[in-house]
Structure 1
Amino acid sequence: MTDPIRIGTRDSELATWQAKTVAAKLQAQGYETELVFVKSEGDLDLTTPLTEMGG
């Protein structure tokens, strides 16, 4: 048994849809997948402008 392919994605509607589309394509080829939801600094800090966060 192999480990599933972990697909990292933000939890927005668009990002989740995109990740599920990729997962479905992989599953159709016989791969097991797992979605892993991540939050970026911009997701967590809604008050600081992105231009001030750096990166």
Structure 2
Amino acid sequence: MDELTWQKSTFSGGPEGECLYVATAPDGTIRLRESDTPDVILTTAPAGLAALIRYVTDAD
């Protein structure tokens, strides 16, 4: 797999052990990982992540 460029979420805060990182893979999928378990990487399509974000923000 090509090396991914991980970006820390702007909503992450506190110690490094509590951060969410996001990367876009060459195939256009979105990869997510937490700093405390960096070997566990979730993969989703951009539309799936957008739907999750809409759901979470509408729940407030």
Q: TM-score, normalised by structure 2?
A: 0.27
Q: TM-score, normalised by structure 1?
A: 0.29
The structure whose RCO (Cα within 8 Å, separation 6+) is larger is: 1
For the pair shown, the structure with the greater C-alpha radius of gyration is: 1
Structure with more strand by fraction = 2
Structure with more helix by fraction = 1
